[in-house]
Amino acid sequence: MEFIVRQARFEDYERLKVIYNDFIEDMNQYDPTDCNMDDEINNWITNGLNKKKSVIYIAELDEDILGFIRLQNKERLEENKTIRYIKLSDLFVAPMFRKIGVASSLINQAYMFARENHSTEIVLNVYETNTKAKDFYVKQDFKFHETLTLNRVRMIRELK
């Protein structure tokens, strides 16, 4: 199965909306309050397509979106120094396309995006009870950074 990873375009909007709803449904098992918020989903997609501070990449086979990743350019001040980083906001692969390298390919795209944007790290939050995701991120060289509220942990991958 030969899929491609590319930046999402405006013509992908409707297909992205469908897979974003699948993503929210999947996340509900970890937090039932993470419900389908159409306005918020529309906002995430629109911002990602406008490429202002966030971007969406999709893994695609023919006309099917197998998965997506949403990344945001961020900065924080640390000891009077500006740290540029990428926030991995969302990563989702449709269940029938898991375990074939889609998520790894999307993470590789995140690394390339981070380097292109001169970022020093990729930061993400994941549900503490989502052991499959946590195990995957550890295999991708993310390290546990801190425990957050709402059943989440922060993980960071430093870029060299």
What is residue 13's predicted lDDT score, i.e. its pLDDT? 83
What is residue 144's predicted lDDT score, i.e. its pLDDT? 93
Q: What stretch of H or E contains 60?
A: strand 54-61
CA–CA separation, 9 vs 130, rounded Å?
30
Q: What is the pTM assigned to this prediction?
A: 0.85
What is residue 151's predicted lDDT score, i.e. its pLDDT? 82
Task: Annotate 91-116 with b (16+ C-beta within 10 A) or e (fewer).
Answer: bbbbeebeeeebbebbbebbbebbee
Express each pLDDT in 8-43 by its tens digit. 998 988 888 887 777 766 665 556 565 556 666 666
pLDDT confidence tier of residue 54, bands split at 50, 70 and 90: confident
Overall domain count for the chain: 1
CA 77 vs CA 74, 81, 84, 88, 156: distances in Å: 11, 5, 9, 19, 17
Considering only residues 99 and 151, tell me which one the structure prediction assigns the higher pLDDT.
99
CATH of the domain at 28: 3.40.630.30
Supply angle C-alpha 5, 11, 15, rounded to 5: 70
CA–CA separation, 128 vs 150, rounded Å?
9
What residue numbers bound the domain in which 34 lies? 4-158
Express each pLDDT in 58-69 by its tens digit. 999 998 999 999
Express each pLDDT in 98-144 by its tens digit. 999 999 999 999 999 999 999 999 999 998 988 999 999 999 999 99
Considering only residues 85 and 21, tell me which one the structure prediction assigns the higher pLDDT.
85
